[in-house]
Amino acid sequence: MLYVSHYLDDMLDVPDNVTVIRDGRVAACRSARDLSEADLLAAMLGGQGLDHAGNGRTTAPTTPGAESLGENTQAVLGVVEFSGAGFGPINLRIDRGECVGLYGLHGSGAESLLAALFGVTPSRGQVTVNGRAISGSPAKRARRGMAFVSGDRRRTLISDWSVAMNHALPSLPSRPLFAHLDFRRVHRETRTTIDAYSVVGEPDQAMRTLSGGNQQKVALGRWLPQRPSLLMLQEPTLGVDVAGRGRIHVGIREVAAAGAAVLIHSTDPEEIVATCDRALVLVNGRVHRALGGDTLNVESLEEATRSASRHSGT
């Protein structure tokens, strides 16, 4: 059996021997018994190792658009008795500089929650951003400081458009005509994202010619120059290689450190632990458990999900 994956745990647990490919060449070929996660990372990144100590946060270039938003500790997101198709009621508060995770498997309601917060689907309840009630279309919510990166790239990217034009999409609702676009600025901002996240592609390429992982990097990076108050991410590193995954995690933490609030849904417990200050475990559309500090780890997230599933009979 030939097993291909960029998940490090799988590579240490499943195969007998591991071959690491980097830039089209064999970087290492060893018995899995003789490898550690650090060995795999070193071979995959060519010496540009990621810091997986502690909470797994990484080191990478400064993220564009992560300028300071101030030290006000006012809640950025306030959610009261919020309900929609497949979830609720949910009560939630996220302060400036805080990164909160929603850990839930597919069908948990977490995907629907993020979409409803951005106005993509109908909902009931109260939502405030920076103390002001929010309602209306996604475009209106974007103008109020909300940003949403969907895990379904087909819904948020236009495959026949160039990478640069896809990168500019968040700024288009405020511009009546393409003729009013500053194409030099669009190209420059796209190039900044390409360099920051090592996107394999060029601004003038059609988006469809990029791999799924590189498309995901563009989908995230295009929001950062907008300096959102609230950044909501659904499966932010789905299909992204390990180096790009680390850079995206750093970008998320830098946006939070600059004063924004970040809300992440991921089915990967390692991603939640690596990026979030605290996490809510969602099962059947409801919050089953809240974890933070020393209690926020992979084992606690998985056990909370198993416990809730046993209790609900799912």
User: For the chain (length 314 residues), average pLDDT per consecutive 10?
Assistant: 82 91 85 85 63 38 38 78 93 94 89 93 94 90 90 83 90 60 87 88 94 86 83 88 79 86 93 93 92 91 82 57
Structural domains for the chain? 8-45 (no CATH), 75-312 (3.40.50.300)
281 vs 224: CA distance, rounded Å = 27
DSSP assignment of 39-53: HHHHHHHTT-----S
261 vs 99: CA distance, rounded Å = 6
Instruction: Please tell me the predicted confidence (pLDDT) of residue 49.
Output: 44
38 vs 308: CA distance, rounded Å = 34
Instruction: Please tell me the predicted confidence (pLDDT) of residue 213.
Output: 81
DSSP 8-state symbol, 223? T
At 289, the amino acid letter reads R
Q: Which of 313, 309, 301, 311 is nearest to 102 (CA)?
A: 301
Is residue 16 packed enough to be buried (19+ CB in 10 Å), middle (13-18) or exposed (0-12)?
exposed
Q: Which of 103, 123, 101 is nearest to 112 (CA)?
A: 123
77 vs 146: CA distance, rounded Å = 10
Instruction: Please tell me the predicted confidence (pLDDT) of residue 113.
Output: 94
